[in-house]
Amino acid sequence: MVCFGLKTYSDMKNREEEDLEKFIRDNKDKFDVYQPEPDHNQHFLNRLINKFKEVINIVPYLVKVGIATILIFILSFLLWRTYICPPLSRISFKYWKVEHNFKYQINRSTRLTYNSINNLKEKAKFKSELQKFDETYKILKKQLKENPSADNIVNMLRFYKEKLLTLEENTQNYRNRNTLNK
């Protein structure tokens, strides 16, 4: 039978046990008289030690995998810290989180405002306002990178807040105009 189900395996096990019991019963007299070979105990211990070594031999591999895992983690962290992490998180992680939140809100408000504008002249005017904001942003960002003082951080956060308020006002104004025109 090719398939080894639970029933088949247990049947094989029972047959082997029955064969072993039959062998012992048939040769009962020989067990009392027959002495094992003199190096039988040593042979048994050698086989037991070899089995134990097979289990122990995995330890060096586990140690190597552990060391490799730690090295990969350290290198990944250094790579992230050096190249990937946001540069202003080095100033303050709290500042980075606040800045990230402001940027998200500003991008959202910019999209909402742009979608609320129907007139091409107003879209051009809005784009020029955004360019002015971008120029101011670049200047403040450069100052902050050169000197991450508390004053520069406050200036940057004030800029974000003013930009966000202006965008929200623009969105409301354009939406109000759209509802009046309809």
76: pLDDT confidence band, cut at 50, 70 and 90? very high
Burial degree of 181 (CB within 10 A; 0-12, 13-18, 19+)? exposed
More confident residue, 164 or 67: 67
pLDDT at position 118: 78
pLDDT at 9: 56
Q: Which of 26-35, 36-45, 61-70, 102-111 has the lowest mean pLDDT?
A: 26-35
- Between 79 and 7, the higher pLDDT residue: 79
Q: Residue range 39-50: average pLDDT?
A: 80
What confidence category does residue 7 fall into, taking pLDDT thresholds of 50, 70 and 90? low
- The answer on pLDDT for 87 being more than 70 is no
**Per-residue confidence (pLDDT) for residue 72, from 0 to 100:** 96
This prediction's pTM: 0.48
pLDDT digits (tens, 9 = 90+) for 115-148: 887 778 888 888 888 898 889 888 988 888 888 7
State the Cα–Cα distance between residues 16 and 172, nearest whole angstrom.
Answer: 87
